[in-house]
Structure 1
Amino acid sequence: MPKIVNHEERREQIAEAMWRVILEKGMEGATVRNIAGEAGLSTGALRHYFKDQDELLVYAMRLVNERVEKRAMVILQEELPPKEKVIRVLLEIVPVDEERRAEMDVWFTFQAHIRHRKDLEGAPGHALGAAVSKLFDFLAYEGELKEELDIELEAERLYSIADGLALHAFLEPNRLRADTVETLIRDSVGRICK
């Protein structure tokens, strides 16, 4: 009897195999052959799920985004004060543990690779700015923001802080510890909230 395979689940497994190859060998090592080998598939079987390496790349990038978004949605559903929800969502973005560090490594590798590839349709860009803007909207809706804030400027400031922390936590994990990151995020959110 033929084995029943969940198509979407297999695509995720292949994307995760691509992440592992990238983490081990860099983007130049992320060949169809290496990815197929890591996924335990033949190159022909891999092509059944993705027509080419670019399609796999775009899918793998989207999957990184989706995983972060899912974790953020779980936090936003929790019974927490709005300010605490925003802090925890921002902490999900900063790579302070191995899982998030690996995601960030893969994400930066993807971004560097596609920077000059205008032909990669549908490749997700850097979504942090839009996410921070949504968090500001959430805080405003909840009545948490201080009066007379320049929302646009403060959103840009928080985005810059979160983005900078993410970059430096990734590049210098021994210097920028998780507790320091949390203190900086809490302080930044505290400055804009009542």
Structure 2
Amino acid sequence: MPRAVDHEQRRFEIVAGLWQLVAEQGIEGISLRTVAARAGVSMGRVQHYFGTKDALVVAGVDLLVKRAVIEYEATAGRPPQDRLLHILLQQIPVTEAGRIGVTVWYAYVAKAMTHAAVRQILAQATRVGVEECTRHIQEADGVDEAEARARAIELLALSDGLTLRVLIGDISAEEAEATIRTYRSRQLTSG
């Protein structure tokens, strides 16, 4: 009897190898061969599941976004303020795994400048982030949609900027988190 193959697991193992390489050397420096070596699989397996480097790169960003959505969906049922803070703090690299994830995210952001499919995936993810933050702020703050959207964009921009500062070592993850929490508290008290 043939052995059952978990194709999703195999695809994930390859993408995890891709992410490790992207975190170390950026997207442009990878090849199917280097990803296969890092993932501990044959070049043929990588080609079987992805075909081309471009398809692998797109699959990598798609899975990165899907995993963030799954983490966010796990917060369902929690108060709007908690769900909002999850979105804002999710990208701040507290652990080494988090640092790798955020480094890969920003490598994809750079790639989006010249790659339409990557740009489309990131733009959609960003729009959903703004929509979710807007909804949570409306619920938590009792403000109209326009005000909630403006607050959401401010908070997301703050989170992005602080994340970059953590990545380059200018501030700690704890300082970034405290800054976001303080800024959010000021929003709540300013009405």
Pair in the same fold by TM > 0.5: yes
**Worse overlay, 146-155 or 18-27:** 146-155
CA apart distance, 1:75: 2.6
- Aligned mates of 1:122, 1:150 — CA distance in 2: 27
- Aligned mates of 1:67, 1:130 — CA distance in 2: 14
Deviations 1:26-83 (A, max 9, x none): 32331011111122222122111112111111111111112222222223344xx432
Structure 2 residue 57 is matched with structure 1 residue 62: no
Asked if 1 retains the 8 angstrom alpha-carbon contact of 2:112 and 2:119, the reply is: no
State the superposition RMSD in angstroms.
Answer: 2.4
CA apart distance, 1:122: 7.8
Change in 2 beyond 3 A, CA 1:123/1:94: same
The size of the alignment, in residue pairs, is 187
**Which residue of the other structure, out of 152, 156, 161, is the alignment partner of 2:158?**
161
Using CA pairs below 8 Å that are at least 6 residues apart, which structure has the higher relative contact order?
1
Partner of 2:141: 145
- Unaligned segments of structure 2, at least 5 residues: none
- Following superposition of structure 1 onto structure 2, how do residues 1-194 of structure 1 map, counting pairs within 5 Å? 1-78=1-78, 81-118=79-116, 120=117, 124-126=121-123, 127-128=125-126, 130-140=128-138, 142=139, 144-145=140-141, 147=143, 150-172=147-169, 175-193=170-188
Asked if 2 retains the 8 angstrom alpha-carbon contact of 1:83 and 1:193, the reply is: no
TM-score, scaled to structure 2: 0.84
Percentage of identical aligned residues: 28
- Aligned mates of 1:112, 1:44 — CA distance in 2: 29
- Aligned mates of 2:172, 2:24 — CA distance in 1: 24
Change in 2 beyond 3 A, CA 1:152/1:77: closer
TM-score, scaled to structure 1: 0.83
Change in 2 beyond 3 A, CA 1:129/1:97: farther
Deviant stretches of 4+, over 4 Å:
146-149
- Aligned mates of 2:103, 2:135 — CA distance in 1: 29
Asked if 1 retains the 8 angstrom alpha-carbon contact of 2:108 and 2:118, the reply is: no
Asked if 2 retains the 8 angstrom alpha-carbon contact of 1:95 and 1:170, the reply is: yes
Q: What amino acid maps onto 1:61 in structure 2?
A: V
- Aligned mates of 2:5, 2:73 — CA distance in 1: 28
CA apart distance, 1:106: 1.0
Larger helix share, 1 or 2? 2
Change in 2 beyond 3 A, CA 1:130/1:165: farther
- Aligned mates of 1:128, 1:121 — CA distance in 2: 12
